[in-house]
Amino acid sequence: MKIRHLYILMVWGILLTTSCKTNVHLVQTKVLNQKTTDESTADKEVEAMIQPYRVKMEKEMNVVIGQLGQDIIKEQPESTMGNFVADLVYDMCQKNFDNPIDFAVVNYGGLRVPSMLAGDVTKGSIFELMPFDNMLVVMDLDGPTTLQLFNSMAAYGGWPISDQARFKIVEGAAKEITVGGEAFDIGRNYKVAISDYIANGGDKLSYLKDKPRVNLGLLFRDAILTYVEDQKGKTMMVELDGRVRE
């Protein structure tokens, strides 16, 4: 899977490079014409080289891996897209972690499309949803840090969170927090599945940088791909259940 991703990124890189040419303005018309001709020839040669890779990549990205039974939308404070991704992150991380995980968190900005339409889900649509090579980790957070994380999510207007947790946003802070059906306990530690981008302080969560974590060796995007592929033959549905509310 990693080799395949490197191949896809390499082709994207070539396509981007060939689309970004420097314009050289020369005084003599003959020289300018020669330059244009040379560039045109070079473009054709590069395009001929890329074409087989382009066709192969497009074919691979158009492979259908699952079915959505509804449109899923990215919204705040809670959304069908956010619930879908956060729940699958929890499930996939739990399969790759020996101890119970309390809940999963996904940063709102990490979901890169506003919606996914009902019907076929292709590999390409998952790459659009999650184009970054972020890894999934499980963090061991003490109570005060976990509360700080909930408050950060509330301050951002609500982030996707898995079904195991609930909270209400009141004046930009998290209230009525429950985890696993029980009231939040400031005196205990919580195991949280999250991307390494956030664990390393992304989205202004610098207080997480030095906290213990286990890297699962699982790309966020691979987790989504695997989950959707495992549901093949089933129509995936998502509900809003009030896990994040105002």
Q: Residue 136 in contact with residue 154, Cβ under 8 Å? A: no
Task: Tell me the C-alpha to C-alpha distance, in Å, between residue 243 and each of 32, 77, 79, 246.
Answer: 63, 9, 10, 10
Co-location of 164 and 235 in the same domain: yes
Question: What is the torsion angle, in degrees rounded to the nearest 10, for the CA atoms of residue 14, residue 16, residue 20 and residue 21?
Answer: 10
Pair (95, 188) in one structural domain: yes
Q: Among 28, 44, 61, identify where a domain stops.
A: 61
What percent of the chain has pLDDT above 90? Answer: 74
> How many domains would you assign to the chain?
2
- pTM, 2 dp: 0.80
Checking if the pLDDT of 76 tops 60, the result is yes
User: 115-116 and 190-195: which strand pairing?
Assistant: unpaired
The reply to whether 27 and 118 lie within a common domain is no
Residues 34-46 have pLDDT tens digits of 445 555 676 676 6
Between CA 211 and CA 198 the distance in angstroms is: 11
Model confidence over 97-121: pLDDT tens digits? 999 999 999 999 999 999 999 999 9
pLDDT band for 58, please (50, 70, 90 cuts): confident
56 pLDDT band, cuts 50/70/90, is: confident
Q: Are residues 20 and 131 in the same domain?
A: no
Specify the pLDDT at position 11: 53
Q: Do 136 and 30 share a structural domain?
A: no
85 and 174 inside one domain: yes
Pair (184, 129) in one structural domain: yes
Residue 171 sits in a domain of what CATH number?
A: 3.90.780.10
Average pLDDT, the chain: 87
154 with 86, same domain: the answer is yes
- Verify that 135 and 195 share a domain, yes or no: yes
Q: Cα-flanking dihedrals φ and ψ of residue 186, to 5°?
A: -65, -15
Answer yes or no: do 99 and 35 share one domain: no
138 and 213 within one domain: yes
What pLDDT, on a 0 to 100 scale, did the predictor assign at position 22? 37
Domain that holds residue 83: 65-245
Same domain, 143 and 233: yes
Last residue of a domain, one of 43, 61, 79: 61
